[in-house]
Amino acid sequence: MRPIDLNADVGEGDEETDAALLPLMTSANVACGLHAGDALTMRATVALAQRHGVAVGAHPGYDDREGFGRRPKQLTAQDIKALLVHQLAALDAIARSEGAIVRHVKPHGALYNQAEADDALAAAIVAAVRAFDPNLRLVGRAGSAMARAAAAVGHPFTPEAFADRRYRTDGSLLPRSEAGAVLTDPEEVARQVRSLVTPGEVVASDGSHVRIAFETLCLHGDTPGSVVLAARIRRELHALGVSVSAPPSPGADFTRP
Tell me if 250 is assigned to some domain: no
Q: For position 167, which CATH number holds?
A: 3.20.20.370
87-145 pLDDT, tens digit per residue, is 999 999 999 999 999 999 999 999 999 999 999 999 999 999 999 999 999 999 999 99
Domain that holds residue 139: 5-239
pTM of the model: 0.92
Count of CA atoms in the C-beta half-sphere (13 A) of 86: 13
Tell me if 92 is assigned to some domain: yes
Tell me if 255 is assigned to some domain: no
Structural domain total, the chain:
1
Q: How far is CA 114 from the centre of its chain?
A: 15
Query: What is the phi-psi region of residue 69: left when phi exceeds 0, alpha when psi lies from -120 to 50, beta otherwise?
Result: left
**Is the pLDDT score of 15 beyond 70?**
yes
25-80 pLDDT, tens digit per residue, is 999 999 999 999 999 999 999 999 999 999 999 999 999 999 999 999 999 999 99
**Is the pLDDT score of 255 beyond 80?**
no
Quick one: angle between helices 145-153 and 119-132, nearest 10? 50
Tell me if 38 is assigned to some domain: yes
The CA-atom distances, in angstroms, between 206 and each of 59, 135, 203 are 31, 39, 8
Tell me if 249 is assigned to some domain: no
Tell me if 134 is assigned to some domain: yes
| CB of 159 closer than 8 Å to CB of 215 | yes
**C-alpha–C-alpha distance, residues 245 and 198, integer Å:** 18
Q: Which of 72, 68, 62 is nearest to 117 (CA)?
A: 72
Tell me if 208 is assigned to some domain: yes
- Number of residues that make up the chain: 257
Tell me if 109 is assigned to some domain: yes
